[in-house]
Structure 1
Amino acid sequence: MRSAVRQLQYLMVAAQVGSFRRAAQMCDVDQSNISRALKQLEDHLGVTLFERTRCGVRLTPAGERFLAEVAPALEQLESARRSARSTRRAETGLVRIGILTSLAGGFLRQLVQAYTERHPRVRIDLRDGGRREHLAAVRAQRLDVAIITGADPVPGCETREFWRERVHVALWAGHPLAGRSKLDWPDLKTEHFIVSRGEPGPEVHDYIVRRSADYSTYPDVEEKAALQDTLMNLVSLGQGITLVSAAWTAVKVPGLVLRPLTARADIVPFSAVWSAANDNPAFLRFLQTAQLLASSEHTGAQQLRPDD
């Protein structure tokens, strides 16, 4: 296949320049290679493609007809070759990302923005969902990467922590605790928490129970059949309080205030999880961008400075 394509390429170049010698220079090969390849092509077809003279070469009528037939196919092959190389360099392609956190602000938003600026022709497919769902999709390579909380190893996957965010309490602006600049778990022991029944509600519920247990209390937690955006509006209407990541500080909801929790244990790591078998060039560049952004001292400081 490769030798046949090479013969056709030599045919097109030689026809354009009218010389095997000049064709060899343009293709960066010996003239003997050009002559031998085109002679083999003529023998295979059973026709003479070129008239050879002291002044150079020119296509025979049979050669002209043959070139007219194969030229569109050669152009299509060249287009496919450029497309394949472009995808390999991650100039085009698709990155599928499963997320648990808001994209409104913070590291994840900076990462997506930085990547799209560097690779504007790559499509980013962001998918909300739960940890278990995302990890199953990563293992099946239906997702390139999942962004989850925690930094523990995930069996069968590669895991890397990229950033941390402090947990915030979301409150109604008229709540007695809204006037404080920071909060701690003893302040919340009598509060009514609300969480969404769907993701990320179960994970938030488990976090509330685990952290409350550290202070020997059992929390009052109600599940709501509402998406996260609706839940935040319910909080702003005084229906209860909830917990969110620092990224939510970039979201403006009327009547809603966010207050950081002060304990070091309430700084949560966020990690990327992916399959080691994933060789998607666009994703590998995404991973490289995340690593560069995470190593930036400015980025690391920016994630925690407002709440420390």
Structure 2
Amino acid sequence: MINLELRRLRYFLAVAQELHFARAAERLHMAQPPLSLQIRKLEEEVGFRLFERTSRNVALTEAGRVLLAGARTAMDELQRAIYSGQQTERGHSGHIRIGFVSSGGVTFLPKLLRELRKSLPEVQTETRQYSTNGALEALAQRAIDLAVVRTPLVADKLLHRPILRDHVVLALPDDHPMCKRKRIRLQQMQHEMFVQYPPNEGHAAYGVVQRACLAAGFVPSVAEFVDDVYGMLGLVGAGIGVALMPAAISRLRVDGVVFRPLPEVEQFFELSLVWRAEDDRRLISAVVDSLANVGGLLVSRRRSHASESSAKTIKR
């Protein structure tokens, strides 16, 4: 196997392009005699002449033309490899697997992916929907690298950064008598059946609903537990019950469902990026920083004082 010095290939490419040793030497910022010496050494290494030299002309030999084609390809590949390595070192390249809960997929995932394509175009993404517990388990098992879930939550060895804090709205069947009112107080819904996030899977969202209802003076009666925003809206549209949901969901057009604001409710739904504390790859920090900026545009103005910019450790 022949071991070629990279600099000699660079010298060869310069002479092959200029077909003039003096001009090639000037381009390489070196004297002509050392350049000629390096070309002769390269010819000795490869075992054939690269150039036909006369007092007036320099021309590639047939073998030299073959080497030229391969050398150009090799140098191009090397430059691409160096660039890819630099991008990876900076966290601007690589593959990241993202898990998300259904409400995050509706409200945030499209903006997340658009921002990644814009700010980190060489980062490849793979996405998959989970329940909250499923996403945390996938993180622990290293099946995904980043999760978009409702917080706060209880989990070991994880970091999170809030990206969306959204106020609470009421989802009603469109034939509900209260739909005629533009302003509804949550206390007025105390005798209704509620479609709720389950306490075991979506406990962060479940806690928001429980605290909001308790503040209004009642414990909500449960029609059904559903850990999927589409399933919840479907049950509301079918008249099974009402639901408290993030305001971002109200942008959806769903047959049989209307939304009403609840301005007196002080609770809010929080969506966060979550990742393993031990995962110190620059790719993770670059993606988190990029996506946190997207989230900043979505934070409810009413509660924008919250510390969505700081990463926090989640402990049991």
Q: Sort the TM-score into its range (normalised by shorter chain).
A: 0.7 to 0.9
In structure 2, distance between residues paired with 1:58 and 1:263: 84
Q: Which AA in structure 1 matches 2:97?
A: R
Structure 1 residues without counterparts, runs of 5 or longer:
none
- Residue 126 of structure 1, CA deviation: 3.5
Shift of 1:241: 1.5
1:27–1:198: structure 2 CA closer, same or farther, 3 Å change rule? farther
Secondary structure of the residue aligned to 2:281 is coil
* Corresponding position of 1:259: 260
In structure 1, the partner of 2:12 is: 11
Q: Deviations over 1:23-71 (max 9, x none)?
A: 3444566657644543442333344433455546433454344445555
Q: Secondary structure at the match of 1:147?
A: strand
Aligned to 1:220: 221
Partner Cα separation in structure 2 for residue 269 and residue 25 of structure 1: 63
Corresponding residue for residue 96 of structure 1: 97
Contact 1:196/1:226, CA 8 A, preserved across alignment: yes
Change (3 A) 1:240 1:28: farther
| CA RMSD, Structure 1 to Structure 2 (Å) | 4.2
Percentage of pairs with the same residue: 26
Q: TM-score, normalised by structure 2?
A: 0.71
1:42-191 to 2 correspondences below 5 Å: 42-55=43-56, 57-68=58-69, 70-81=71-82, 94-100=95-101, 101-105=103-107, 109-117=110-118, 124-138=125-139, 141-150=142-151, 155-191=156-192
- 183-192 or 73-82: bigger deviation: 73-82
Q: Deviations over 1:164-218 (max 9, x none)?
A: 1012221112223333445555333322122467997555445434544556744
SS, match of residue 10 in structure 2: helix
The residue aligned with 2:282 is 279
TM-score, normalised on structure 1?
Answer: 0.73
Q: 1:90 to 1:34 in 2, by over 3 A?
A: farther
Q: Report the Cα distance in structure 2 between the residues aligned to 1:226 and 1:134, rounded to whole angstroms.
A: 13
2:249 matched to 1:235?
no
* Bigger mean CA offset, 80-89 vs 136-145: 80-89
Any conservation in 2 of the 1:204–1:243 contact (CA below 8 Å)? Answer: no
Q: Cα distance 1:219–1:291, how it changes in 2: closer, same or farther (>3 A)?
A: closer
Cα distance per residue 1:213-249 (max 9 Å; x no partner): 5567443224367853243122112111122211111
**Equivalent position SS for 1:167:** strand
Aligned partner of 1:166: which letter?
H
3-state SS in 2 of match to 1:11: helix
**What CA deviation, in whole Å up to 9, does each residue of 1:55-96 have, x standing for no partner?**
464334543444455554444444555565677788876553
Cα pair distance change 1:110/1:68, threshold 3 Å? closer
C-alpha contact (below 8 Å) 1:148/1:270 kept by paired residues: yes
> What secondary structure does 1:271 align onto?
strand
Assess if the C-alpha contact under 8 Å between 2:165 and 2:270 holds in 1: yes
CA distance in 1, matches of 2:141, 2:66: 50
Q: Does 1:247 align with 2:248?
A: yes
- Alpha-carbon spacing, 1:258–1:119, altered in 2? closer, same or farther (3 Å): same
The amino acid that maps onto 1:45 is V
Report the CA distance shift for 1:114/1:63 in structure 2 as closer, same or farther (over 3 A).
Answer: closer
User: Quick check: 82-91 or 53-62, which moved more?
Assistant: 82-91
Q: In 2, distance between residues paired with 1:48 and 1:143?
A: 55
